[in-house]
């Protein structure tokens, strides 16, 4: 099957969006599909090699097109969208278009079906709700005007109604959209995934670190991700250290969490910084337990399928996570993770202390999570998407 994937991101991108896009396209190509990924050029000079950056072996069935749009920065988004619509028309069009870009999906589904390929949209949240919550989630986000909210809701309804296929990242999001817009055919719930290392590459004992227990965290440092809750929990655990992987230099979130750590747990929080994706797994294995401390909110409760969740499960380390509906779609309390009250530093500290003090519990949680994550590899994700694409197009790999 010929798949054209549109992602209006600079590439490679040092965020979860970039990892998920590349891993999904690579996995689909490895399953025999011809995948054409359309992105924007890298912002680094010289441009980085996406294959090396993401640690993936090149696959001939996956081609990466970096669209150079001759436009000023303010107009580059519009130019990329226009290019994407143009590439979806005519004789060279693919069998199916796959995108998580609501604007591109909304424009394409307005065109007559005979003039374009079927569109499959992957939703990571109900856009008006995400827009309303952003100022509370991100320190640099602006609010959503009533007019923009109406436009986004109309676009969501249009894509839900007219897209050939629809993917949601969680079952909770699928239920919400069905409640808003009614049921639809060819709907698939497809969470994120992870690479699962060989058994011999994973052990339950870390080999490097401070000498005391280490709590690991990987990801961005936005307030809604809970790094502040983690630092407050570390303050309550004398002798316990934290290793934080992530945080972009120069961004206010990194400075905020650094200042918090210096005040609440001086000398006990190590910041590894932003690292290339292939390095994350090795850093996670330097920890004794991993924390996923998302705070309460609509996005955390219904829209999130964090890459770190699956990376943690594959790491061979036990996990303590916020007890949120979206995470419970993957995690089972006391079986593959310890779940604690979201947003509570005290509850997180108690959960971490419990796992650090019970080697048998830690070993059992880690082993079960590592077994369970085999259902959530990138190949299994591609397999689930493939089934939807075949239903939409009537074609097989």
Are 182 and 213 part of one and the same domain? no
Q: What is the mean pLDDT of residues 200-223?
A: 73
Please return the burial class of 222, using the count of CB atoms within 10 Å of its CB with bins 0-12, 13-18 and 19+. buried
**What are 81-133's pLDDT values in tens digits?**
888 888 787 656 799 999 999 999 999 999 999 889 999 999 999 999 999 88
Are 55 and 10 part of one and the same domain? yes
pLDDT at 322 over 90: yes
pLDDT at 166 over 80: yes
Are 359 and 269 part of one and the same domain? yes
Q: What is the mean pLDDT of residues 137-164?
A: 89
Give pLDDT, residue 281.
94
pTM for the complete prediction? 0.94
**What are 238-297's pLDDT values in tens digits?**
999 999 999 988 889 999 999 999 999 999 999 999 999 999 999 999 999 999 999 999
Are 296 and 348 part of one and the same domain? yes
Q: What is the mean pLDDT of residues 180-201?
A: 88
Which of the two residues, 257 and 134, has the higher pLDDT score? Answer: 257
Are 288 and 265 part of one and the same domain? yes
Region of residue 125 (left: phi > 0; alpha: psi -120 to 50; beta: else): left
Of residues 380, 189, 218, the one with CA closest to residue 287: 218
Which of the two residues, 136 and 113, has the higher pLDDT score? Answer: 113
pLDDT at 232 over 50: yes
Highest mean pLDDT among 102-116, 141-155, 333-347: 333-347
pLDDT at 304 over 60: yes
Are 116 and 220 part of one and the same domain? no
Which secondary-structure segment (H or E) carries 216?
strand 214-218
pLDDT at 234 over 90: yes
Number of structural domains (the chain) is: 2
Are 20 and 58 part of one and the same domain? yes
pLDDT at 134 over 80: no
Q: What is the mean pLDDT of residues 226-234?
A: 98
**Confidence band of 302 (pLDDT split at 50, 70, 90):** very high
**Confidence band of 43 (pLDDT split at 50, 70, 90):** confident
Domain extent for 299:
199-376
pLDDT at 208 over 50: no
Q: What is the DSSP letter of 346?
A: H
Q: What is the mean pLDDT of residues 132-138?
A: 77
Report the alpha-carbon distance of residue 119 to residue 344 in Å, rounded. Answer: 42
Q: What is the mean pLDDT of residues 227-238?
A: 98
**Confidence band of 207 (pLDDT split at 50, 70, 90):** very low
Are 158 and 297 part of one and the same domain? no
Give pLDDT, residue 201.
52
Joined together, the tokens standing for residue 209 give: 């670190």
**Confidence band of 199 (pLDDT split at 50, 70, 90):** low
Give pLDDT, residue 90.
65
CATH code of the domain covering residue 125: 3.40.50.2000
Give pLDDT, residue 71.
67
Report the alpha-carbon distance of residue 218 to residue 1 in Å, rounded. Answer: 35
If one counts every other C-beta atom within 10 angstroms of the C-beta of residue 217, the result is 27
Are 96 and 189 part of one and the same domain? yes
Give pLDDT, residue 139.
64
Are 149 and 93 part of one and the same domain? yes
Give pLDDT, residue 276.
93
pLDDT at 18 over 80: yes
Cα 166 versus chain centre, distance: 18
β-sheet bridge partners, residue 99:
6, 121
Among the residue ranges 57-66, 136-145, 250-259, 357-366, the one predicted with the least confidence is 136-145
**Confidence band of 203 (pLDDT split at 50, 70, 90):** low
Are 159 and 255 part of one and the same domain? no
pLDDT at 60 over 70: yes
Radius of gyration of the chain, Cα coordinates, nearest whole angstrom: 21
Are 370 and 383 part of one and the same domain? no
> Considering the chain, what is the average pLDDT of its residues?
92
Q: How far apart are the first and last CA of the chain?
A: 5
């Amino acid at each position: 099957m010929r798949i054209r994937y549109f992602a209006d991101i600079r590439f490679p991108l040092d965020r979860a969006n970039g990892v998920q896009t590349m891993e999904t396209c690579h996995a689909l190509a490895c399953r025999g599909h011809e995948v054409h990924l359309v992105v924007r050029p890298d912002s680094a000079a010289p441009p980085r090699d996406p294959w090396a950056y993401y640690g993936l072996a090149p696959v001939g069935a996956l081609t990466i097109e970096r669209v150079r749009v001759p436009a000023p920065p303010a107009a580059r988004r519009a130019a990329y969208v226009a290019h994407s619509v143009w590439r979806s028309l005519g004789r060279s069009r693919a069998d199916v278009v796959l995108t998580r870009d609501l604007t591109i999906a909304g424009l394409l589904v307005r065109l007559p079906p005979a003039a374009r390929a079927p569109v499959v949209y992957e939703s990571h949240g109900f856009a008006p709700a995400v827009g309303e919550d952003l100022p509370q989630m991100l320190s640099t986000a602006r609010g959503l005007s009533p007019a923009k909210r109406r436009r986004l809701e109309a676009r969501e309804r249009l894509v839900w109604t007219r897209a050939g296929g629809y993917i949601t990242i969680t079952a909770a999001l699928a239920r919400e959209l069905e409640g808003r817009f009614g049921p639809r055919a060819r709907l698939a719930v497809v969470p994120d995934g992870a690479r699962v290392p060989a058994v011999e590459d994973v052990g339950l004992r870390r080999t490097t670190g401070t000498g005391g227990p280490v709590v690991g965290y990987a990801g961005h440092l936005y307030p809604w991700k809970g790094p502040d809750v983690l630092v407050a929990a570390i303050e309550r655990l004398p002798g316990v250290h934290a290793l934080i992987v992530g945080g972009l230099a120069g961004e206010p979130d990194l400075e905020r969490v650094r200042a918090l750590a210096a005040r609440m747990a001086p000398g006990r929080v190590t910041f590894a910084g932003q690292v290339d994706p292939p390095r994350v797994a090795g850093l996670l294995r330097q920890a004794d337990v991993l924390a996923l401390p998302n705070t309460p909110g609509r996005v955390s409760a219904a829209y999130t399928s964090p890459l770190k969740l699956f990376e943690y499960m594959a790491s061979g380390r036990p996990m303590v996570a916020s007890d949120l509906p979206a995470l419970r779609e993957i995690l089972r309390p006391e079986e593959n993770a310890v779940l604690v009250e979201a947003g509570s530093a005290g509850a997180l500290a108690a959960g971490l202390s419990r796992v650090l003090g019970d080697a048998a519990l830690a070993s059992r949680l880690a082993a079960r999570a590592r077994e369970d994550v085999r259902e959530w590899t990138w190949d299994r994700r591609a397999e689930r998407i493939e089934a939807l694409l075949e239903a939409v197009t009537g074609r097989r790999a």
